[in-house]
Structure 1
Amino acid sequence: MEGTGARIQLGLFVSGQHPPQRNPAEAIREHLEQVELARELGFASVFAGQHFLSDPFAMFQSIPLLARLAASADGMIVGTGIVLLPLLNPVEVAENAATLHAICGGRHVLGVGIGYRAAENAAFGLGPGRAAVLEAKLDVVRRLLAGESVTASGPGYALEGARLALVPERPPPIWMAANGDRAVARAARLSDAWMVNPHTRLDELARQMQIFRAERAAAGLPPSACTPVIKEVCVAETDAAAMEAARPWLKGKYDAYVDWGQSEVLPPADTLRREFDELTAGGRFVLGSPETCTAILAQHVDRLGADHVICRVQWPGMPQEHVLRSLRLLAREVLPALRGNAAGGGRP
């Protein structure tokens, strides 16, 4: 994707998951420090995700967390990455999005997804047919945020001429997370951008990006205005130092992903059931020196057209010093190298 790297932006994915014994007030203070530094360094966005019943981790819910972080994110996009729309009431989702939109001065992205965890689905009484539920609720959310009068019904909601009183002047863009091929095709049809997941190898992501683009073209839709990619990132002075800093915390996070069932919703050619050294290969993670991380991200620019890299630089238990170091090196060394490489027409 010629030229994409020249306009690439960085985002911060705030990891609201922590060991249960962690003091939550201290964790919030650390997240505020992360956002304040990211803003100072020129990061374009801050995102946070959503899970319920998040054992073995304690997890902050994304909407109140983002509302608090927004006070330190002036000028940045503030986005949900993602809300689990099939589990939630679409009126609440729309009202929360309108509120965040106002808090952020219109710089809000509504990220949505279908989810995959059986424990969450059971807790909210959601049975089979989640894709249809997602599509129906997303239609309601879109129409409410556009100021329409909505009559619709589905699991847990029944609306007769419902209308929001707080309506954004311009509705937030909707980015959709997707893992499997069918979900990627759904994101192409229903969203403004595919929020590319951090779990899959680059070769599989490149194959799926072709599905995404072909599906949009077949639906008569223009190319998406941006290509946001979430990545697991740890930058240090050397490859060895980055791996040492990331390994214990990133491994623990991906062990939990396997227990939660994340591996089963990846493309069939990929799996998270690997030894850690094998798991880090193939562009799945961005771990290493600034030069190594620049090279990995340059491949994402070339092969996916990535132009907004949302970096998760912390996993449960990881010390704050490693997080802040990654943010500084990303902004001061990796991003300039990516942009300079794109402007010069070469690869690092």
Structure 2
Amino acid sequence: MTVLGAIALPQLPPDRLRAVVQAADESGLEELWLWEDCFLTSGVATMAAALAWSDRLKVGVGLLPVPLRNVAIAAMEFATLHRLFPGRAHIGVGHGVQDWMGQVGARVSSPMTLLREHVTALRQLLAGERVTVDGRYVHLDGVALDWPPTAAAPVLVGASGPKTLRLAGEIGDGVIISAGNTPDDVRAARAVIGDVPLVVYLHTATGPGAAERMERERVNWGYPTIVDRAVTGDADEVAEQVGRWAGAGADTVVLQPAPDDPDPEGFVRFAATVAAIRRGTPATAR
């Protein structure tokens, strides 16, 4: 059965995150996902807080841009999260938005090479290995974590184009693709990445003004049409539509609200209701 989650966008002020986490927790939502977009909120800080505010909620963060982090620091951060909250942290990395990486002086000439080197070393460190590597961008000399995770610590990799998808399927423990991908796009991605877990974000709107919010998203993201790129409607309608992305190969579908959604707490409750409908155990929608 496809897992269904929801995103708390970083456009939400950080001081409002706790209420969203509590709403997700109380509603029975299985997974809450966070982003680290420049220059909004830290993915690691918000993930740690969200995990601490719940005893059961699984929290994902995707994506953390690898150019912003030395791989040893990333491994220390991720290992700490996995040991503090075993089995509840889903961590995704990617090469970042190149314009943003340029703004902070972290843009590299070969993002693909950096991503390969970083993820390879990161997975080795999280597996408890002592790592020595002298790559184009990643350099480690006998580095090992004193407190590696005590269980498997998967690293998901974000991807878009065919080359990055192929690399992500090769080096990652799973792949994340952004909202705006149609069911046919998901099928194509699945064909490229193989059998690794696939997380798909999905533009979603419900309630009054849903269609208008999706039209603004279409303009914001530059889509020629919003058809097959988003879902709108009540919980039953969205649950039915989500099945198209699940049937195309998504192992996890994460409902992504518009940044101007008027009720972030209500949105995660709505996502929990959609998930319950798909499981055959309806709950109360917002």
TM-score range, shorter chain: 0.7 to 0.9
> Aligned letter for 1:81?
G
What value does the CA root-mean-square deviation take over the aligned residues? 2.4
Deviations 1:98-129 (A, max 9, x none): 11112323422221112232231452343321
CA–CA distance in 1 between the matches of 2:258 and 2:45? 20
Once the two structures are TM-superposed, the CA of residue 80 in structure 1 deviates from its matched residue by 2.0
Identity %: 22
Deviations 1:20-46 (A, max 9, x none): xxxxxxx23422111111111221222
Give structure 2 stretches of 5+ with no counterpart: 282-286
Determine which of 279, 284, 288 is the counterpart of 2:233: 288
- Give the alignment of 1:52-63 within 5 angstroms: 52=38, 54=39, 59-63=40-44
Structure 1 residue 328 corresponds to structure 2 residue 273? no
Q: Which residue is equivalent to 1:151? A: 132
Once the two structures are TM-superposed, the CA of residue 190 in structure 1 deviates from its matched residue by 1.0
Once the two structures are TM-superposed, the CA of residue 10 in structure 1 deviates from its matched residue by 2.2
Describe the shift of the 1:134–1:193 C-alpha distance in structure 2 as closer, same or farther (beyond 3 A).
same
CA–CA distance in 2 between the matches of 1:328 and 1:87? 33
Q: The residue matched to 2:167 in structure 1 has which SS? A: helix
Normalising by structure 2, what TM-score? 0.88
Work out whether residues 89 and 156 of structure 1, in 8 Å CA contact, stay in contact via their aligned partners in 2. Answer: no
- Larger RCO of the pair (alpha carbons < 8 Å, separation 6+): 1
Q: Which residue is equivalent to 1:97? A: 78
Work out whether residues 12 and 35 of structure 1, in 8 Å CA contact, stay in contact via their aligned partners in 2. Answer: no
CA–CA distance in 1 between the matches of 2:103 and 2:270? 42
> Alignment length, in residue pairs?
281
Deviations 1:260-286 (A, max 9, x none): xxxxxxxxxxxx353xxx2x211x112
Determine which of 225, 228, 245 is the counterpart of 1:300: 245
CA–CA distance in 2 between the matches of 1:160 and 1:209? 36
CA–CA distance in 2 between the matches of 1:167 and 1:68? 21
Work out whether residues 198 and 230 of structure 1, in 8 Å CA contact, stay in contact via their aligned partners in 2. Answer: yes
Structure 1 residue 230 corresponds to structure 2 residue 201? yes
Q: Which residue is equivalent to 1:217? A: none
CA–CA distance in 2 between the matches of 1:30 and 1:300? 30
Work out whether residues 87 and 126 of structure 1, in 8 Å CA contact, stay in contact via their aligned partners in 2. Answer: no
Describe the shift of the 1:139–1:152 C-alpha distance in structure 2 as closer, same or farther (beyond 3 A).
same
Determine which of 160, 163, 167 is the counterpart of 1:179: 160
CA–CA distance in 2 between the matches of 1:295 and 1:204? 19
CA–CA distance in 1 between the matches of 2:88 and 2:49? 15
Q: Which segment is superposed worse, 39-48 or 147-156?
A: 147-156
Work out whether residues 77 and 104 of structure 1, in 8 Å CA contact, stay in contact via their aligned partners in 2. Answer: no
Q: The residue matched to 2:180 in structure 1 has which SS? A: coil
Structure 1 residue 318 corresponds to structure 2 residue 261? yes
Q: The residue matched to 1:75 in structure 2 has which SS? A: coil
Once the two structures are TM-superposed, the CA of residue 83 in structure 1 deviates from its matched residue by 0.9
Deviations 1:132-176 (A, max 9, x none): 111111111111111111112346653211111121111311111
Q: Which structure has greater helix proportion?
A: 1
> Aligned letter for 2:227?
A
Structure 1 residue 35 corresponds to structure 2 residue 21? yes
Larger radius of gyration: 1
Give structure 1 stretches of 5+ with no counterpart: 1-6, 19-26, 214-222, 258-271, 342-348
Q: Which residue is equivalent to 2:210? A: 242
> Aligned letter for 1:90?
V
Describe the shift of the 1:87–1:209 C-alpha distance in structure 2 as closer, same or farther (beyond 3 A).
same
Normalising by structure 1, what TM-score? 0.73
Describe the shift of the 1:194–1:331 C-alpha distance in structure 2 as closer, same or farther (beyond 3 A).
same
CA–CA distance in 2 between the matches of 1:177 and 1:73? 26
Work out whether residues 5 and 272 of structure 2, in 8 Å CA contact, stay in contact via their aligned partners in 1. Answer: no
